[in-house]
Structure 1
Amino acid sequence: MNKFVKILVIFLVAIQANAQELNATVTVNSDKVPGSNKQVFQTLERSITEFLNQKKWTNKNFKSQEKIQCNFTLTILEQEGSNNFTGNIQVQSSRPVYNSSYLTPIFNFKDNDFSFRYTEFENLQYNPNSFDSNLVSVITFYTYMVLGMDGDTFARNGGTEYYNSAENVMNQAQQSSYIGWNQNDNGVTRFRLITDILSGAFSNFRVAMYNYHLLGLDIMHNDKLESKEKISNSLKLLKTIYDRRPNAILVRVFMDAKSDEIVNIFSDGPRFETDKLKDDLIRMSPTNMSKWNSIN
């Protein structure tokens, strides 16, 4: 290989490295699966990591410091035969807060209905026009959810194109027999998650995501009291969703990501009246009551 070709290869690799959007960490936990041959799970972990981090998911270029930090944790509970697996997947993502070293959690979602077929060393590829693999479809769906959630924190409705892509994944997957893609599936499903987030009835969730992060957290370095007011107003927007739909999945999604952070924000810094805020939080997320009561 001559010098020019070497330089060109290095240049192209550098472009590719800076083009991708995700800095994803993948963990495949197979502790519940009996047997000593764990090689297939190690291969699966590497394959998903490469799929997430090497694929170009958007038409935007992300600098290395702009890549979205996220975690995909697959817990395998059962293995049937050599290539059928059942378990759950938890997806978490975060983004930096302006002018700080703090990473704020954006998305924290656990999907308990995850089953798939996988043959070791198979190539993971996503085709937006067909359903080929539940493994690929689920991973792709949550990738677009991560991108959408992140986009909504930087611009008003900034995640719409990614949510539309997630909806397309769902539409293609509905032809399969896998649970989680269809309206009649029970529980907190992928169908409910993407349908609600694109519904006008829950538009205040996306407004709250924008106000909380860009108008609230991102000014924390400059004016902590104003930041608290913006964040408090964002939580009031969520309360309007709860008042109309107490079992709204998006309120739970928000609290699963943000409960610890909310406590830290309103327990530190300049004094802010929190009595009404605490009442609202207890109503919206009673499972976190002990956390809300610790706000002082």
Structure 2
Amino acid sequence: MKYPLRKLFLLVLLACCNIGWAQELDINVTVNGERVQTQEQQVFTDLQNAMEKFLLSQEWTTDTFEEFERIKSNIQVTLNSNTDINNQVYEANVQIQSLRPVYGTDYETPVMNYLDNKWLFSYRPSDPMIFSENTYSTELTSLMAYYSYLILALDYDTFSPKGGTPFYERALNIANYSQQSGGRGWDQLGDKRDRVFLIRDLTNPLFEPFREALYEYHRLGMDKFEENPDEARKVILSALRKIEQVRDAVPISITIDMFFDTKAPELINVFSQGDKTVIAEAVQLMIKLNPTNANKFRKLL
């Protein structure tokens, strides 16, 4: 089980911190309503507070998290001009991010950085936000629960091989019943870049090497980097080779794209020094896997 591993890791990392019970997520929500033509600015603050309260009041796992163990994450909601405050209809682009501490350092590595531009939900301040794992309640609560489980799953995968499995399954369950609601971004049009394909990837056996790579990259690579950077780079290169296996099997994948959206700046930093042979192989591999950043990767040579 992954959680004791994570707990031991963080206890060693932050042994001097004060202990206190808390929820799993240390999450910050921001709502930007600058594009919306309205004088009712307070509703944006109300929405922000309601979302944050909902996310922090749920018990997403059966594990006990102490305050310093909470997963740092951000949800940045940018409301679009099509938002209709009078009819309580909100349309938004939403950036979801999460971070993980790196052993022996004060550095936090990004684990998730994903832009979902298909949020469409209703919100009325007087309505309570209620969530049931197996029942569709509202679009907004389903979206928040889906991403909460995804944040947890990815984080757990970085601490033990495929440790996030139960949380991927819960996110998939939410996606499956949300499809029936007809909401945007739940795969009505078969868009392979929407949130349903993301969770389908992560629960697909073809993506097991990708999930193994998450563990190798973080626990065996980044967590060992301070101790032995040359060996850590080789481990990270090995993790990239596993991702290559998946890319070869599934050429179009929002999941691998998300990985490089999250990790490209860090990978450039990791391979900015070290053995030239390792750097050259890493650059060749990264260009293949993420051609969008090819020019940036070539500068490492």
* TM-score (normalizing by structure 1): 0.91
Please report the RMSD computed on the Cα atoms of aligned residues, expressed in angstroms.
Answer: 1.7
Bigger Rg, which one: 1
Q: Which residue of 2 aligns with 1:79?
A: 83
Q: Which residue of 1 aligns with 2:171?
A: 166
Identity, in percent, stands at 34
> Would the aligned equivalents of 2:150 and 2:167 in 1 still touch at CA under 8 Å?
yes
Q: Which residue of 2 aligns with 1:33?
A: 36
1:235 aligns with 2:240: yes
> Would the aligned equivalents of 2:156 and 2:163 in 1 still touch at CA under 8 Å?
yes
SS in 2 for 1:273: helix
Q: Which residue of 2 aligns with 1:207?
A: 212
Residue 272 of structure 1: how far off its partner (Å): 5.4
Residue 125 of structure 1: how far off its partner (Å): 1.8
**Which stretch has the larger CA shift, 34-43 or 184-193?**
184-193
Q: Which residue of 1 aligns with 2:14?
A: none
Residue 185 of structure 1: how far off its partner (Å): 3.3
SS in 1 for 2:273: coil
Q: Distance in 2 between matches of 1:171 and 1:187?
A: 15
Q: Distance in 2 between matches of 1:129 and 1:248?
A: 27
The runs of at least 4 aligned residues of structure 1 exceeding 4 Å deviation read 269-272
Q: Distance in 2 between matches of 1:240 and 1:97?
A: 26
> Would the aligned equivalents of 2:193 and 2:253 in 1 still touch at CA under 8 Å?
no
Residue 273 of structure 1: how far off its partner (Å): 2.6
**Which stretch has the larger CA shift, 163-172 or 204-213?**
163-172
Q: How does 1:183-222 map to 2 (within 5 A)?
A: 184-222=189-227
1:69 aligns with 2:79: no
Q: Report the residue type matching 1:227 in the other structure.
A: A
Q: Which residue of 2 aligns with 1:225?
A: 230
Q: How does 1:245-256 map to 2 (within 5 A)?
A: 245-256=250-261
Q: Which residue of 1 aligns with 2:286?
A: 281
Q: Which residue of 1 aligns with 2:9?
A: none
Among 45, 64, 77, the residue aligned to 1:42: 45
Q: Tell me the matched-pair count.
A: 282
SS in 2 for 1:274: helix
1:4-28 CA-partner distances (Å, limit 9, x unpaired): xxxxxxxxxx99x623101101011
Q: Distance in 1 between matches of 2:132 and 2:267?
A: 39
Unaligned runs of 5+ in 2: 1-17
> Would the aligned equivalents of 2:206 and 2:249 in 1 still touch at CA under 8 Å?
no
Unaligned runs of 5+ in 1: 1-13
Q: How does 1:141-152 map to 2 (within 5 A)?
A: 141-152=146-157
1:52-87 CA-partner distances (Å, limit 9, x unpaired): 122211101111111100000111102223301112
Q: Distance in 2 between matches of 1:131 and 1:274?
A: 48
Residue 245 of structure 1: how far off its partner (Å): 2.1
Q: Distance in 2 between matches of 1:249 and 1:186?
A: 10
* TM-score (normalizing by structure 2): 0.89
Q: Distance in 1 between matches of 2:246 and 2:133?
A: 32
Q: Distance in 2 between matches of 1:270 and 1:284?
A: 21
Residue 36 of structure 1: how far off its partner (Å): 1.9
> Would the aligned equivalents of 2:182 and 2:188 in 1 still touch at CA under 8 Å?
no
SS in 2 for 1:50: helix
1:137 aligns with 2:142: yes
